[in-house]
Structure 1
Amino acid sequence: MLFLVLGKGKTGSLVAEIARERGHGVRVLDMAENRSASALTGPTLAGVDAVIDFTNADAAVENMRAVLALGCRIVVGTTGWYGQLAAMKELAHRRGGALLYGTNFSIGVQKLFRLTAELAQLDGYSFSIEETHHTSKLDAPSGTALTLKEIIQSIRPKADVSVASHRVGDAKGEHVVTAKSDIDVLELRHDAATRRGFALGAVRAAEWVAKQGAGAWDFREIFNQL
């Protein structure tokens, strides 16, 4: 397959590297080469099986609009743009494009999401979340932490779930979910040793979405199909 990676940051560069390791052709555009999605034209996307976006929230929305309007496929690992999600879904369906998005493409984190849903079913517990990332991560709380909170509150709508965010050095990503009662404390923890898990999941997501028809999916819905 041929993938176009948007973003030459740490994760985007690793996505390109892993895609090549898995035998795919890869093109990469940094944000300076693609201001306001100006490079995402019909000729540029000709032959591209899927676009993979790891830029920032504003750029991601512009990139999605351009890619989906041309009926192409895009995987978005960028977070912080979900206020535009309904519009992007509508555009994908209307123009025959495909959108696969997620707050975290690590398979381990996907398991954390499911375990958190189980934990939230406990009666008599209060819940909290703590996350730690590198100092260059702009959004806080992280998209993953917000997803964990959403999962808990979908099961316990009245729960007041606190989220603490820390930005430390080059931390790859740590999330801890705590359930506390008068009797005991339970913790679920995912600590990323490298960014490779996120990047590999994004490449596998691109392999999946390249084979789909028009639509929009959360990675949480399809990761067990990979």
Structure 2
Amino acid sequence: MKIALIGYGKMGRTIEEIAISRGHEIVLKIDVNNTEALTEANLRKADVAIEFTAPASAVDNYRLCFTSGVPVVSGTTGWLSRKDEVEKACHEKEGCFFYASNFSLGVNLFFELNRKLARMMNAFDQYNVSMTEVHHTHKLDAPSGTAISLAEDIIGEVKRIDSWTSDEPKSAAELPISSIREDEVPGIHTVKYDSEVDYIEITHSAKSRRGFAFGAVLAAEFCQGRKGVLSIKNLLDELA
């Protein structure tokens, strides 16, 4: 498989290493120093694009991939206010778009654990739920996309919670998310249910970027021959 890497920072380099180890070829590498090389002609040399950039450029990158007829896998977060627009563009161009807020297998198991715990805690309103996420100082968005996914799943299961906030909560119906930025932390997410007598806490801690990168390469492989908007659930159902 020929892969275009849109975003060639630390994550892009880790993806490259894993992709090559699985027999794939990197035919295009785009970073801040050669953005002019991100063209339809260059993208068409690839079978799939893997995009890890920044919220400000992500949607334009997706649109260019759709126009070029190249499936795109993305782990960029912070652009979801334009999700409907992106999905519409994908369908109009009969493209393939695979997005995940987190490609790690462990994190996606954590998502499932979070949903199950939230379902159980819905009956116990003496517990107040909160969340903390810690990432490296280069991460631009806060809260992280993973934290927002966790929060939305909690809101869907715990009826006393109707929204999340990154500020001080104004009511018990808001789930507070604390975002911490520290040097070289791949990602730590903790969900806490706290009462007067005890607390329950679940945490996922990434040891490196390799788990995210491996999942992104699996997603790129999964996109071959497929159309439409895909998710990590589609991939996990295939692997199960």
Larger Rg, first or second structure (1 or 2): 2
Instruction: Tell me how far 1:195 sits from its aligned partner.
Output: 0.6
C-alpha distance in 2 between matches for 1:8 and 1:222: 24
CA contact (8 A) 2:44 2:69 kept: no
Equivalent residue for 1:216, pick from 207, 218, 229? 229
Offset, 1:47: 4.2
Contact 1:69 1:91 in 2 (8 A): no
- Residue in structure 1 matched with residue 188 of structure 2 by the alignment: 174
Residues 101-155 of structure 1 deviation map (CA, whole Å, 9 limit, x = unaligned)? 0110000000010000001012213211111011111111111111100010011
Report how many residues are paired: 222
Change (3 A) 1:183 1:225: farther
- For residues 32 and 68 of structure 2, what CA distance do their matches in structure 1 show? 20
| Residue 33 of structure 2 is aligned to residue 63 of structure 1 | no
One-letter amino acid matched to 1:6? I
Instruction: Measure the CA separation in 1 of the matches of 2:148 and 2:98.
Output: 18
Which letter does structure 2 place at the counterpart of 1:3?
Answer: I
TM-score by length of 1: 0.93
For structure 1, which runs of at least 5 residues remain unmatched after alignment?
A: none
Partners of 2:33 and 2:58 lie apart in 1 by 14
Instruction: Give the drift of 1:157.
Output: 4.2
Percent sequence identity over matched residues?
Answer: 36
Instruction: Judge conservation of contact 2:133–2:143 (CA < 8 Å) in 1.
Output: yes
Deviates most, 46-55 or 174-183:
174-183
Structure-1 residue corresponding to 2:101: 103
Contact 1:174 1:190 in 2 (8 A): yes
Contact residue 75 and residue 101 of structure 1 kept, 8 A: yes
Which secondary structure state, in structure 2, belongs to the residue aligned with residue 162 of structure 1? strand
Describe the SS at the equivalent of 1:161.
Answer: strand
What's 1:206 paired with? 220
What amino acid is aligned across from residue 33 of structure 1 in structure 2? Answer: N
The equivalent residue for 2:137 is 135
AA of the residue aligned to 2:200: L
Offset at residue 183 of structure 1 (A): 4.4
Correspondence 1:7 to 2:4: no
Using the alignment, how far apart are the partners of 1:19 and 1:142 within structure 2? 25
Residue 111 of structure 2 corresponds to 113
2:85 aligned with 1:81, yes or no? no
Gaps of 5+ in 2: 162-173
Q: SS of the counterpart of 2:78? A: coil
What does the per-residue CA deviation read over 1:25-48, in whole Å, with 9 as the maximum and x for residues that have no partner?
A: 11322133225xx6231x312342
